Structure 1
């Protein structure tokens, strides 16, 4: 591998192996690489919604406190390299080439054995672990679970802290068709005597998570019980809230990520870091918490690309995510004319997602994009029984048309699959700048 494009092509070529949950291939690769995962001071984050935002809050606060932080997240919005980042900055192309040179021969050796070939996600995961342990060592590594938890490739680490965000119905064909079954898969990241912070709300999810934590003797801290969000209010350019724990109270914290749910993700991040401070694992001051929350930025999540008229991107790719988006739009832009563009993958819970659009006073435009599992616009309209919605096959023409028609007081929200958002973002920015 001599070039960046060759390296990326090889990584993506592993997509042909699909999703193949299990830890045996990861353990084999990591052992061959000298077990880099054992060198990491890691925080492990699982959940249905809010993982990426929680990772971002954690990273931003730790950066303010002077720590070098590696993050592993998925999928990417702007560039593939952002999946492996240092202090919020994607790794350099040359580093990615070097990682492929290390991993590729091992992947080829593994493929010839009885365990079979590694998946694309497994390859990227071992690349991240090796990078943070051997190429660019960091103070802390934050790993976001890719799918589920129990058999996810990130579940080969022994973390300092485990975080499980809110649980919802997603990937039901793989993780199970009830909140309890999905929570069981997420709870698979809980490790013996490793503290757990959770923002799960449903009784069914909590009972599963708490039972698993008890089995593992993991000290557990729950949102709404051990720490809580109080005095929530929308503010210009973000949200305000008070964080209350049993030992501390921080009033008028501000996050720049939009939506009430982001205050809960922020609370999870702060409460877990305060625990680590209490245990002597890090130094942290109130000013660093406040600045870190305010500066946290996560592309494609209620991201405002322009104001007057307002153009928003949000990867609301499941029922809970879409509910949060629509709630935020109603709360912040009640008096404005809202237009919504939505595209999704066919394997999502569309029968529950699409009817949610009937709860908002907005013009709905359903579209499609070039991706193997993307749902046709006409099928979205049929499933949602949305007679008033427009079904448009060409999303680029639709974007041009709506952006040209927007009045200064209008709001255009582009949402759905994160794969769609990653395609749409550069196109929209180009139109806005043109």
Structure 2
């Protein structure tokens, strides 16, 4: 057998098996487990779910032993999941979550009631999947599972052990061919359709919608967010063909925004059978009330599917208590410093609306760090439409082989295209940029740090350490 992987951290034990010697591999520490996971290939040339299905079958099909709600969408997946998790927790359920990427530590990707699983569990799960990965490396022409497939398998394995009553599973990329899509959930949720990962998902919104709609399973209900007409038709067509009942934001249920007061968003929700007035959340922005409405409707649908009574107090308390790091998160009050992972043009559009509606007083310094494979120019140009914004571009270390957009080059591209000075400054080192901008902030000013979620992760760690 050909042994692949970082051999320097693998212990090889020789044990008898059917009168032959068999090599059993053991990963001994948490850091070695992460090195193995992150050392795997990220993508294959030909996307398929067959490899993931075989991987899970070799593990005993753990995905078939859990109850799950599947959440896809361009933006809003994480916030919707967080709202729904808190509602279900308030209802007395133990709620598992699978999310990506992480902000502080890898363990965040698999959590129970919002608490990441332990280092020991990561190590234990890695050792469970490792022999199967090695086997598939030998058996499959394209090689064994990718990094995300391995993490997904670890998640299914963990929750199949009975650690949660219901698992909220966030799609990694797209939906149709995402490794999470091997399961059949109790309920599906599609939050938004926007421009992101076009090189993989397609160059039109209907094409992207087709990929997201791939999570819809036969006769499994689906809750859908506020989506433009053309991509919505694709989702409706898919749901109709699979005889999956749909509830759509703006049709079967509605949300009414009541404004922001003291960094809390107030809103009301109404469906055919339920109504909630003056709900409030610390996740601000009209797009967050849409996400909250999706979570409420998903809860109502889940109650109906599982014959549970609807608890209005669970909804009110769950929405109010929801926090989601890196989503217009206020890190500091005086001066006001906010971070937001607006990592694509659709997310920037939402931030622009929020700034124009609620932050017209004072100056807003926007520090942007964007991945090179994103619509960097459009993101900067859109952010620059806010009248009281001053844009500073910076750099950061991108994940793996993905590089940050060069801030000097990006400035030249934007300014030459706009034929005006759009970018105020370029400061290559983001820590220096933060320190420089902080010294300029007046009472009513704000520093908004935004862009790649990987960038925001590093910034959050830095700020929480330096400001506390």
TM range (shorter): over 0.9
- After TM superposition, the structure 1 = structure 2 runs for residues 31-180 of structure 1, keeping only pairs within 5 Å, are 31-114=57-140, 115-134=142-161, 136-180=162-206
Instruction: Tell me, in whole angstroms, the C-alpha distance in 1 between the residues paired with 2:80 and 2:257.
Output: 20
- 1:302 is aligned to 328
Task: Provide Cα deviations, 1:217-275, integer angstroms capped at 9, x if missing partner.
Answer: 00011100000012431122221111010111111011211111000011011012112
> How many pairs are equivalent?
432
Instruction: Quote the residue 2:49 is aligned against.
Output: 23
* Residues 177-196 of structure 1 aligned to structure 2 (within 5 Å): 177-196=203-222
Q: State the shift of 1:24 in Å.
A: 1.2
- Give, in angstroms, the shift of residue 278 of structure 1: 2.4
Kept in 2, the 8 Å contact 1:20–1:119? The answer is: no
Q: Which runs of 5+ in 1 are unaligned?
A: none
Distance 2:201 2:32 in 1: 34
Aligned counterpart in structure 1 of residue 391 of structure 2, from 357, 364, 368: 364
- 3-state SS of paired residue (1:257): coil
Residues 175 and 181 in structure 1, CA contact (< 8 A), matched pair in contact too? yes
Q: Deviations over 1:328-374 (max 9, x none)?
A: 12222211211000011111122422210221121110111112321
Structure 1 residue 19: deviation in Å? 7.6
Query: TM-score, structure 1 length as denominator?
Result: 0.97
Residue of structure 1 equivalent to 2:15: none
Q: Does the 8 Å CA contact 1:400/1:431 hold for their aligned counterparts?
A: no
Mapped pair 1:384 → 2:419? no
Q: Does 1:401 align with 2:401?
A: no
Aligned-partner SS, 1:57: helix
Q: Matches of 1:109 and 1:45 in 2, distance apart?
A: 31
Higher Cα radius of gyration? 2
Moved more, 161-170 or 403-412: 403-412
Deviations 1:86-125 (A, max 9, x none): 1001110000000000011111111112252211110000
Q: C-alpha separation between the residues in 1 aligned to 2:318 and 2:333?
A: 24
Q: Which residue of 1 aligns with 2:445?
A: 410
Task: Report if aligned partners of 1:232, 1:260 keep a CA contact under 8 Å in 2.
Answer: no
- Which of 210, 213, 216 lines up with 2:236 in the alignment? 210
Structure 1: distance between partners of 2:121 and 2:264: 35
Partner SS, residue 314 of structure 2:
helix
Tell me, yes or no, if structure 1 residue 334 matches structure 2 residue 369.
no
The equivalent of 1:373 in structure 2 is: 403
1:409 is displaced (CA, Å) by: 2.4
Alignment CA distance shift 1:183-1:280 (3 Å) = same
* 1:126 shift after superposition: 0.5
| 2:380 paired with 1:354 | yes
The residue correspondences of 1:218-297 to structure 2 (distance < 5 A) are 218-297=244-323
Q: Contact 2:42–2:148 (CA<8 Å) still a contact in 1?
A: no
Three-state SS of the structure 1 residue aligned to 2:96 is: strand
Moved more, 19-28 or 205-214: 19-28
Name the SS for the 2:361 alignment partner.
coil
**RMSD across aligned C-alpha pairs, in angstroms?**
1.4
Aligned in 2, Cα 1:218/1:16: closer, same or farther, shift over 3 Å?
closer
Contact kept in structure 1, 2:340 and 2:450, CA below 8 Å: yes
